[in-house]
Amino acid sequence: MLKQMKNLGIKTSLKMIVPFLITGIFGTLIGACFYMLYETCTMLVAGTSSNAISLNLFLKGVFISFPISMGLSAMMLTLYFIRHPALPFIPILTYAVLILVAWLVLIPSCTKLSLNYDTKTESVKNKNSLSSNLFRKSNSLVTYFSKVYNDNFANGMCINISNDASTIYTFKNVPLEDNKKTFSDSLIAESIEMPRLISYIMNDISTLMEAGKKAIKSWKAENQLTFGASFFKGISYWLCYISMGLALLSVIGLRRVSNWRLLNTFIVILSTFCITSFNSIYYRKTIYEGAAAIVDKWFSKMIFIHDPFAVLVNIVIFILFSVTGLLIDIFKKNNDLDKMGNPV
């Protein structure tokens, strides 16, 4: 009996739930902790103490890291499937169900909760005024505040080292710039500001989450009328948005694209990265304006299709990867499995 289950990949299918849950739970918790830590650091001012633990920030972190974890679950499960090869039918079915649950139920529920939470709670972020008696270097200017008053006025001096010879200016009672940057203190920013690449990835994620929130808001707005066309129109916002999820789901089609599992894992990781990057760039509306305008015209009469360019590209990716995977599974012998479907 056990052998029969193994052959069909039922055991792999059941085991697949474990990495899905681990990704969801641990990914969310770890992500939330780091979000809390990062946000605390952004409020930190050198030379002052700060409380690293904040329930508000942690909850905000949960609302951010849970959809990310769920979004990445397709990639994680594919990596798991590459590592634990089995006959594909049942595991892929399980995989599809899990990912669809994630995109159709878990992510929208979390986004709705997050929207409710955002409206109920005020911004937890407060900007602290700078501390005195420390040097702060920004490009070619070194500032030193001997006193910072509560109204953000300061006394001090600055050294302009951009000139051939450095010039020193002293000043009294001048209003400091209101902090509009991410970090309250440039000193802290200097040492823990995100590297450019991570910042780019985080911007991508943030754009996608904003687009998701927008889709949910539109869905909720249309849902005021529960029946008829507006219900479908409402959900269509979310369905169009999660065409990205469909593209991400299809990366499983690449799991055997080469005979080397390590290479396949990297291809899957990179494909996930490219799909999310494409979608975020689209939602930022910077690069494909021209192409998007043409595609928008094609679908101008179909009111249920929103952001048609992104939907079209995501569906093309889905078809391409799925067909690739299907053809590979049908025609390419899996050397990692024996005749009975057991891993060798």
Kindly state whether residue 267 participates in binding other proteins, applying the rule CB under 8 A: yes
Smaller CB separation from other proteins, 53 or 105: 53
Contact at 8 Å (CB) between 325 and 253?
A: yes
Q: Which amino acid is at 312?
A: L
Kindly state whether residue 274 participates in binding other proteins, applying the rule CB under 8 A: no
Phi-psi region of 285 (alpha: psi -120 to 50; beta: other; left: phi over 0): left
- Least spacing, CB of residue 46 vs other proteins, in Å: 4
> How far apart are the C-alpha atoms of 186 and 168, rounded to whole Å?
20
Stretch near other proteins under the rule CB under 8 A, chosen from 70-78, 90-98, 118-126, 266-274 = 266-274
Candidate list 16, 32, 43, 44; residue touching other proteins; CB under 8 A: 44
Kindly state whether residue 82 participates in binding other proteins, applying the rule CB under 8 A: yes
Phi-psi region of 163 (alpha: psi -120 to 50; beta: other; left: phi over 0): beta
Smaller CB separation from other proteins, 65 or 111: 65
Residues 195-234 binding other proteins (CB under 8 A) are 195, 197-198, 201
> How far apart are the C-alpha atoms of 339 and 344, rounded to whole Å?
10
Residues 23-42 binding other proteins (CB under 8 A) are 34, 37-38, 41
Residues 316-335 binding other proteins (CB under 8 A) are 335
Contact at 8 Å (CB) between 207 and 283?
A: yes
Residues 278-297 binding other proteins (CB under 8 A) are none
Question: Which residues lie closer than 8 Å to 120 by C-beta, 6 or more apart?
Answer: none
Candidate list 26, 89, 232, 273; residue touching other proteins; CB under 8 A: 273
> How far apart are the C-alpha atoms of 133 and 130, rounded to whole Å?
10
Strand order in the sheet with 153-160: 135-138, 141-148, 153-160
Kindly state whether residue 128 participates in binding other proteins, applying the rule CB under 8 A: no
- Least spacing, CB of residue 145 vs other proteins, in Å: 8
Candidate list 4, 18, 21, 50; residue touching other proteins; CB under 8 A: 50
